[in-house]
Homo-oligomer: A and B are copies of this chain.
Amino acid sequence: MISFVRFILLVLFLSSPFLLKAQVVDQEVHRVVFQVTKGEAADQEQAVGQLNNILKALPNAEIEVICHGKALPLLLEAESQVKDGIVDLLTRGVVFAACENTMRRAKASKEDLISGVITVPSALAEIILKQEQGWAYIKAGN
């Protein structure tokens, strides 16, 4: 009987750190999927400014920026109004992804994207999958 009680106490004692450790890991790795849906010049400037603000506050943040709908031009070599800002963020490890559904509708090809930008089959599916993997979600814009 004593060994049984000791056994229960041991399991209680040993189980708690596993759960705590899992939480600490979540808090140390900052991962965020950042959805951009607007494409006016002011929206593009705002998105780049906000991404820089995140990296200033959380220098080790992993950021994936998903551009779809009206936000596709942000990532187009010939149309982006913030190309320098995008290239700078790319060199600092920010991932930019264009939605392939949007690209088909806009008749844009991968060659039209700023070099280093990736594509995802579906912007919304990607946002769902990232949240399932524990990434925070922020929708950009006003």
B-contacting residues of A (Cβ < 8 Å)?
Answer: 7-8, 10-12, 14-16, 18-19, 22, 26-27, 30, 32, 35, 37-38, 46, 50, 53-54, 56-58, 61, 69-70, 101, 121-122, 124-125, 127-129, 131-133, 136-139, 141-142
Contacts and interface: CB of A to CB of B under 8 A. Distances in A.
Copies of chain A in the complex: 3
B122 A128 contact: no
B53 A101 contact: yes
Q: Which of A18, A26, A35, A142 has the most CB of B within 10 A?
A: A142
Contacts of A15: 11, 14-15, 18
A132 B27 contact: yes
B70 A125 contact: no
